[in-house]
Structure formats: structure tokens, C-alpha cells
A and B are shown apart, each in its own frame.
Chain A
Amino acid sequence: MSSEKPVGVLGVGSFGTAMANILSVNADVIMYSRSQERIEEIQKTRSSRGIALRKNIRLTSDLAEISDQCELLFPMIPSSGFRDLMIDLSPLLRPYHILIHGTKGLDLALDPGQDIDSVETISRSHVKTMSDVIREETIAIRVGCLAGPNLAKELAEGHPAATVVASHFNEVIRYGQKYLKTDNFQVYGNSDLRAIELAGVLKNIIAIASGGLQGLGFGENARGMLISRGLIEIIYLGKALGGNVTAFLGLAGIGDLVTTANSSLSRNFTVGQMLARGMTIKDILNEMDEVAEGINTVKIMSKVARHYDAKAPITNTLYNVLFGNMTANEGLEYLMKFPMSRDIEFLKGLD
């Protein structure tokens, strides 16, 4: 009965498309884009961002249609447009809707009259995860997120992979597993929604830095150093935003970090490479055809770190390279001099 209902994917980016393909193994899928033009283009080629669409996926630009037909919705759009989409969706949603998002970015809810460039520091109460945004803007209560090493291109090619569905509700996790699990795609559950969201968001910072190291021509020793230092840093930042440590040690934490910090298929990694080549942020943004969430995350988290006086040398250095006058080389030099005599001893007492 319920399996006859189609599943909705909001967004037609590469990750959304890859996920729609996986979902289409278990159910019919409706994909939504607000741009009629994009839809026609995808219809014509039956592919989006170079990924071919499977047969039982159809498209719509009508939010009412997708919310009416589907009980289970997967918002897969950049964080910058997430809140607006939820506001539009809000009158159409009912408490029986289940939303599992796959957006690895943050939403900033500052006081009226403020914007990110005018504030010096940002406190936790102003930083929202996407599930916070869903809860704030809509009546949907059974929400969850997807996180894990899920490079869209590899998923599209059917490589074996796994993901985490996190939610406070077991039924959301079960639903996610029911519709996402295929022979090549494993789905794990986790009840710590906030921590899993943060793990997915924060790892992008390290992915940019890793791309930078590679762009500067350094090898695996440097990367090993970065990933391990980086993990500790994002754990601290995650703590500042109210996440637990353990989530960072699983698939959505280390798993995703190792993948994106090693792969030129990752947009954030690519951003780092371009930085190393001396490109400015403006050039980089022009060059990218899809959003790299890490850029915005660095901006927000650097100010969050300042607010809580948290040690975040990698984030702060990236901030200076991205938005200040520091070059990638200077940034690296600065990091190598940063006084950190202990390895991970200071993790003690974190939990």
C-alpha cells in the first residue's frame, strides 16, 4: 500500500539525481525543480549533471503535486536556498510527511539588520542545521538526514557505498532504509540527528584544506597530518554547536572525511585545489557549476570559533585565505608553525 506511493526528491543537482536513481530501484520517484526550463532540459536528455535518469523518475515544477503524492520527501538542495524552499513548502506539508534531507551546509539566522559580514562572532543560537530549518518553517516533525561518503558520480556508476540515515524517530530510519537500500548501497541508522548533520557539514572544511595541500604539490604525509588534525578540529567545532563526539568517528564523520579529503570528485576538494593555484574566491565561484558548501561553512564556523574561543587553526586559516589577503602558501606556513605539541591528548574529557 504505502510502497505504491512515489517518493519525492527536491532538487535536481548531481547528488539529488544520484539519490533519485537509487530510490527508483524501490519506488517510483518524482523530482522537483522550481525551474521549468531545467525540467525541460532534463526531460529532453533524460539526464541531469551528466547522470542518466532511470525510467521510473518523473519531473515536476509543482510543489503541490509532489507534496500531495508523496509521503516521503528528500530535500537535496544547497543550504542557501533551503529555507526559502521550506517556506514555500510549508503550507503544503502535513505532520504525516517524512523529510530526509541530504544538504551538508548550515543556515544562518541572524538578528534583523545583521548579516554575516557585519558580525564579528556568531553564537550557537544563530546557526541552524537543515533539520532545524525544517522544524522552524514547517509542521513536519518526523525529519532525518543523509550523511556519509556519497560522491554522486560514484553512486551514479553503481559503485558499492553506504550511507547513514539519522533521525530521532526509528520509523524515519526504517523508512529511509526501506527505500534506499539496494544490493550496492548499504544504509545505517543513527539516532543522533544533530551530530550526524554536523559531521557531514564540518568535514567540508577539511576537504577544502586537503585540496589546497594537494594543489600545492604535497603528498600523503601531509594529507595524513591534515586529516587527523582536521578531525580533532571539527570535533571541537561540533561540540561548540551541540553535537556529540561519537558521530564523528563513524561513517558520516571519518568515513566521509577520508573520502572527500582524497577525491577530486569532491567539489570542496576542488575549491582547495583552485585556491592553491592562486585563484580568488570570485574566480572560483564563477568556475563552479554547483555549490561547494564548504566555503560558506568556513565563513560561519570561523566566527563561531571566535565566539566560543575554540581552537580552530585550519578553519581560521582557510578563512583568511578565502576572504582575507593570505595566500595558500602563507596559510600552510602559518599552520605548520601553530603551537600544538600534543597529539590527541586534549580529546580527554570531551564526552
Chain B
Amino acid sequence: MAKTKVKSTKKWEKGRYYEPIIKRSKYWPVVQLSKNRKAFIEEVAKETLIQIKKMRPSKTQIVEEIETALYREKFRMRSNPWRVDPPDEKPFWDGIKSDLLSLDTDYNEGDEFKILEKIINRYAEEVAGNFKPNRYRFTRRVVKFGFRRLLNAARVQGFFGLFKSDYYLTDNIQIFGKIKQIRNLARDGTIIMVPTHFSNLDSILIGWIIHVLGLPPFIYGAGLNLFNIKIFAYFMNSLGAYKVDRRKKNYLYIETLKMYSHLAIRKGAHSLFFPGGTRSRSGHIEKKLKRGLLGTAIEAQRSILMNNENRKIYVVPVTINYHFVLEAPSLIRDHLKRTGQERFYEEKDKSSTSFKIIKFLIKFFSKGSSISVSIGRPLDVLGNYVDKDGRSLDKQKRVIQIEDYFTLGGQITENIQREEEYTRMLSEKIVEEFHRNNRLTGSHLISYIAFSYWRNKYPQLDLYGFLRVPEEELEIDYGKFREMFIEHRERFIELKRQKKINLSIHMREGDIDEMIQHGLNNLGLFHVKRPLLLKDGKILTHDLATLYYYHNRTDGYEF
């Protein structure tokens, strides 16, 4: 079996950790934020109120929004209660209800704002994170230590490995891209990291990367559902997370949440958004991004400029490349069920157990499968590239003043519709960068080739029909497959030349059979049913749906 361990590259040194750019934690932006937590929450509430009054100028509109929030909250409490929900929820909303009723009986000017304020204050308090540097350090140590011990135990084969530290996380996780530039920009500017999202491992991975790069902790919105589990809640609270409750979709809540992010960014807190919202179910690289939080970066930049400050916000797209995704089979089945409805049915569900996850981790670290993380070129909030000093550049590399984007009639102005349009453009640019920084691995390419080949043999079937074709009927002669591999690889090398994709190192040169073998090994590393395997000179599949998932990663490139 090929034990092709990926060699370190020049850019990435073994065991390398970068010096923290800010040594003392008391100067970390996130610490500053939590030190003044109370004042910050008040500010969030105050600004949200101003914003809502601006957007909903009449009394009727305000009352309508309060009524909608009340109705939805009551419905949520009844239909979907969570453990983490505070016990005083019901009395609170009952109070709002009677406040609303009294608007009709004896109304004094501005009463509706008082109700609004109550709700906003509550939401702001609920969203706010509670960062604790000691806990951050502790958690970081636990994660680092735990991973490393596990790694060594697996590698050195045996219990005594637990006490050695020959292997580092950085052996298996490679970071490529504009590291120095990001570190540089983070000193005077604010970084918004926007990674692709494929696996639950992503948050841990990114947290670790931020630490390795020597950047101070980032704040990020974590789903409130994670806070249901006590141990998670402890760590999340300590890691700069603020809470996002996806059940609450009412206008007042969303405005508060956005204002929290906006103000935190404005105050210089580096932030992390998964702009796709949730993990990619289909295996495709995100094509459509959620614009709500992304828009707060643009709003924050505009309000900084309006205040005559010159702090700049940089958006850094990050593409995470896994050879394989632990939860791929369940993700793709979920996707197919949603898109195909009754046209897709499956035999039985195999959910992940803790045992499986541990088995996976050991396999992962022992077999030398690597994760690579591509840090994209940093952008300003308009999607322009910036130079090493953070100046925005146009296509001809001329310097642009970003305040010009917000200027009308000689003045910087706030214009929500304009900023929505800018957000749309920024999100298109990020998607483009995701694809460009994607590193094609052997496992992705073989999945792409095999799936497309078989799919083309059944043009009369729709996707769901095709997925029900008995797997025994699908095979490719290795010789034929090898030919297709060579041909496709050439095409992607050409795409790389056009800077539309990147190739992982072991795909750039070397023996073709080894590349295919490497891909096959990685793809089959964890999955019980192998998406692709080589048997008696034939390429076969045992799990067509999962193969489809891996195929999708490389889908959508135009040759």
C-alpha cells in the first residue's frame, strides 16, 4: 500500500506555529469587547432601536413587527422548545402581549417604542457572547494536547506513543496562501474569515488555524442548538461565540443579531462567518451565500468611514480541502431526500456513533490523510484585492479609495439598497475565490470521472432513477479509467493555468497509477461502503450516492 505521506512544502514548515501578533490577551479585540460587555450590549440595543425606527417609521409598522414577533415566539415556544431556553420566556412574552393590548386602551405617545425596547434589550442580551481569556487558553490546550496525544498514539502504535510528541498536527494539516499578508493586515485592520463549510470538523479546524497563524481569537455566530449541550456551552462561551438562534426568524431578532455583528466588527473584532450558512449537503462548493451577516461587514465599513476613521475591513475566503468528509453519506442522503422527495428512498440510515468518530480520528491520523486549507487573497468589502499594506487595487492595480463607493454628491451616505447590491457582488466574488482556491485532490478527480462516466451511460434516467441502478452493473476497466484520468487531469492543469482552480501537490507530478491509488485509498479510508474501489482490474462502487457527493466537489467548472 502506498504510504504516500505528503511532504512539507517550502512555505509550510513542520510543526510551525507563528508568533502571536498580539502577545498580551488583554489587548485582543475580543477581550476588549467582553470587558465592556454590559456597555456593548446596551449599545447594540440602542443602535438596533434607531435602525428599526428608521426602517419602520410609522407606529402601525412598529406595532405590526411586535405582533409578528409575539406570534412567532409563542408558536416557537409551543412547537419547538429547547433545554437552553430560559424559564422566564413565557411570562416575558405574556407581558408583551398585555403591553400591546394596553396600546389600544390608553395610549401615550411613544408607548410602542417602550415595548420595542424591552424586546430588543432581551434579544441583545441573549445574542451576546461572553469571552473569557483563561478559558480560551485552557480549551486551546485541551484541544491541542488531546489531538497530539491521539496522533502520537496512533502513529507510534501503542500506548507509549501517548507520551511522545514526535508528530504534530501540522504534519497532517497544511496551510497554504497569504499567511504573512493576513497577519500583517490583522494588526491594523479587521479580518472577516469566510470558509467553505463541508464538515462539522470545520469550526474546530478553523479555530486551530487561527491560533497557529498567531491571530487573536475570532468571534463567530454559533447555533444556539450547540448550547443545549452543557460541555459545549462552556467552551463556546469561552471562545468568543455569540449565539444565533435559527428558530427566531422575526425581523426584530434578525436586526439585533446583525447589529451585534456590525458593531463588533466596527470595534475591530475579527470575525468568522460560514457564509454558506450550513454544511454543503450536496458536496458542491457553495454557490449561493447567505447575505445577512456578510452585509454587516459592508455596513460596518461604511459606518467606520462615516465616523472619519480609517480602520479597514478585509474579507478572507478560505477553502478547506478534505480528501473525504466524515459525514458525506448522511449529508448527501439528506440532500437527495430534500431535492428528490418521493423519487429518492434509501434502505437504512447509518448514523455516526462516538465509537466511529474515534475510529475515524485514529485512521485519519495514522494513515496520513491530509487536510489542506487554502487561505485566499484578502479582499476589501467591495471584493477588490488588497496589497500587502491593505490598499484596495483595481484590475489595473491602481489604488482605489473605498470611501468613494459610499459617496454620493460628495458625501459618504448610508444607503441600504446600495449596500444590499454590494453584498450580492461581494458574495459572488467570494464564490469565485472559493472555486479558484479549491485544491483538486486525487480522490475528488477519480470520483468526478467515475460518476460522470456512469451517469452518461444512462441519459434516459433522471438523477434519482440513476442512483437506483444496481451497483453491480457499474464498472470501468482500469485501463480505460486510467486513460480518462490522464485526459481529465490535463484539463484541470489547463484550468489551473487560467487560475480557475488549484491542484494538490501530489496531483502535479508523479506516477499516474500512484495518483489514482492515493485517491482510492483516501476515499475509502473511513466509509463503511466504499464509494470507489479497484478490484480485479475494474473500478467499482459500493455507494453511488456518496460517490455523487464527491463528484460534486469538482462539478461546475467550465473547460
Q: Please name 13 further chain A to chain B contacts, defined as beta carbons within 8 Å, in addition to the given A90-B396, A139-B398, A139-B400, sorted by A numbering.
A: A2-B408, A2-B409, A5-B409, A71-B409, A95-B400, A95-B401, A95-B405, A95-B407, A141-B405, A141-B422, A169-B418, A171-B415, A171-B418
Which A residues touch B405, using CB under 8 A? 95-96, 141
User: Using a CB-CB cutoff of 8 Å, which residues 165-183 of chain A contact chain B?
Assistant: 168-171
Bound-complex Cα distance A94 to B404 (A): 7
Q: Does residue A1 face the partner (Cβ distance < 8 Å to B)? A: yes
B-side interface residues toward A, CB under 8 Å?
Answer: 382, 394, 396, 398, 400-402, 404-405, 407-410, 415, 417-418, 421-422, 425
**What is the CB-to-nearest-CB distance from A32 to chain B, in angstroms, rounded to a whole number?**
21
User: B396 contacts which chain A residues (CB < 8 A)?
Assistant: 90-91
Nearest opposing residue in chain B for A94, CB measure: B404
Known: A90-B396, A91-B398, A139-B394. A170 touches B410 (CB 8 A): no
* Contacting residues, chain B, for A170 (C-beta < 8 A): 415, 417-418
* A-side interface size class: 10 to 19
Bits for A61-73, please: 1 = Cβ < 8 Å to B, else 0.
0000000000100
Q: Is the CB of B410 within 8 A of A2?
A: yes
Q: B404, A95: Cβ atoms under 8 Å?
A: yes
Chain B residues whose CB sits within 8 angstroms of the CB of A71 once the complex forms: 409-410
Docked pose: A324 CA to B327 CA in angstroms:
61
Q: Could you say which residues of chain A place their CB within 8 Å of the CB of B401?
A: 94-95
**Complex Cα spacing A186 to B425, Å:** 31
* B410 & A1 in contact (Cβ 8 Å cutoff): yes
C-alpha gap A96/B400 in the complex (Å):
11
Q: Which residues of A contact B421 (CB under 8 A)?
A: 168-169
Judge whether B404 and A96 touch: CB under 8 Å.
yes
* 26 residue pairs A–B, Cβ–Cβ below 8 Å: A1-B409, A2-B409, A2-B410, A5-B409, A71-B409, A71-B410, A90-B396, A94-B401, A94-B404, A95-B401, A96-B404, A96-B405, A96-B407, A96-B408, A139-B394, A139-B398, A141-B382, A141-B405, A168-B421, A169-B421, A170-B415, A170-B417, A170-B418, A171-B415, A171-B417, A171-B418
B304 to nearest A CB, angstroms? 16
List residues 195-225 of chain A with CB under 8 A from any CB of chain B: none
- Interchain nearest-CB distance for A125 vs B (Å): 9
Q: Which 9 A-B pairs have the closest CB atoms?
A: A2-B409, A95-B404, A96-B407, A96-B404, A95-B405, A139-B394, A170-B417, A94-B404, A168-B421
Give chain A nearest CB distance to B422 CB in angstroms. Answer: 8
Give A147 to B400 CA distance when docked, in angstroms.
31
Contact (Cβ within 8 A) B417 A169: yes
Set of chain A residues within 8 Å of B408, measured between Cβ atoms: 2, 96, 171
CB within 8 Å of B: which A115-146 residues:
139, 141-142
A2 cross-chain contacts in B, Cβ below 8 A: 408-410
CA distance A111 to B412 in the complex (A): 40
Nearest A-chain residue to B383, judged by Cβ: A141
Interface membership of chain A positions 303-322, coded 1 if the CB is closer than 8 angstroms to chain B and 0 otherwise: 00000000000000000000
**Nearest-Cβ distance from residue A98 to partner chain B, whole angstroms:** 8
Contacts of A91 in B (CB 8 A): 396, 398
Cα A1 to Cα B405 in complex, Å, equals 19
**Which residues in A have their C-beta under 8 angstroms from that of B425?**
141
Separation of A141 and B394 alpha carbons in the complex (Å): 12
Instruction: Report the bound CA distance from A95 to B404 in whole Å.
Output: 5
CB distance from A109 to the nearest CB of B (A): 14
Chain B residues contacting A90 (CB-CB under 8 Å) are 396
| Minimum Cβ distance to chain A for residue B498 (Å) | 12
A98's nearest neighbour on chain B, judged by CB, is B408
Instruction: Give the distance in Å from the alpha carbon of A90 to the alpha carbon of B421 in the complex.
Output: 22
Interface members, chain A 55-108 (any B CB < 8 Å):
71, 90-91, 94-96
Residue of A nearest to B401 (CB): A94
Chain B residue numbers with a CB within 8 Å of A1 are 409-410
Which residue from chain A places its CB closest to the CB of B384 in the assembled complex?
A: A139
A96–B382 Cα gap in the complex (Å)?
A: 13
**Which of A2, A96, A170 counts the most chain B CB atoms within 10 A?**
A96
Tell me the bound Cα distance from A16 to B425 in angstroms: 31
B99 to nearest A CB, angstroms? 36
Hey, which chain B residues are within 8 Å of A141, CB to CB? 382, 405, 422, 425
Interface residues of A in 325-349 (CB under 8 A from B): none
Give the interface centre of A5, A94, A95, A141 by most chain B CB atoms within 10 Å: A95
Q: How far is the CB of A94 from chain B (nearest CB, A)?
A: 5
Instruction: Name the CB-closest residue of A to B558.
Output: A125
Cα A90 to Cα B425 in complex, Å, equals 20
**Which residues on the A side are within 8 Å of B409 (C-beta)?**
1-2, 5, 71
Bound-state Cα–Cα, A341 to B433, Å = 49
Interface positions, chain A 275-319, Cβ under 8 Å from B, are none
